[in-house]
């Protein structure tokens, strides 16, 4: 098990969110979509220019930009 930032995850890789390190509007927006510690996510794909990223959370698909994904720490299996 090791901790990485969401940006570094590969397509189809899964992991468990351990921390969301941002406050303010961005932090709230991230959390209200269900990206909170303990949630399992899977990277579903990336846009043609590699940014934004699409991920599966709780059975739905969300998109966010790489610089927003940088605030999210994930624990992944090695």
- Does 13 sit near other proteins (CB under 8 A)? no
- Does 63 sit near other proteins (CB under 8 A)? yes
3-state secondary structure of 9: coil
Q: In the set 4, 33, 70, 75, which binds other proteins (CB under 8 A)? A: 33
Q: In the set 27, 70, 75, 76, which binds other proteins (CB under 8 A)? A: 27
By beta-carbon proximity to other proteins, the closer residue of 8 and 67 is 67
- Measured CA angle at 34 (ends 59, 61), to 5 deg: 40
6 burial class (0-12, 13-18, 19+ CB within 10 angstroms)?
buried
DSSP letter at 50 equals S
Residues that bind other proteins (CB under 8 A): 14, 19-21, 23, 25-34, 36-40, 42, 44-45, 47-52, 54, 56-65, 68
């Amino acid at each position: 098990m090791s901790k990485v930032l969401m940006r570094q995850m590969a397509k189809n890789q899964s992991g468990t969110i351990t921390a969301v390190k941002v406050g303010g509007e961005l932090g709230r927006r991230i959390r209200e979509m269900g990206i909170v510690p303990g949630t399992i996510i899977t990277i579903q794909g990336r846009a043609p220019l590699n940014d934004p990223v699409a991920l599966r959370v709780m059975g739905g698909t969300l998109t966010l930009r790489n610089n927003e994904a940088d605030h999210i720490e994930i624990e992944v299996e090695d």
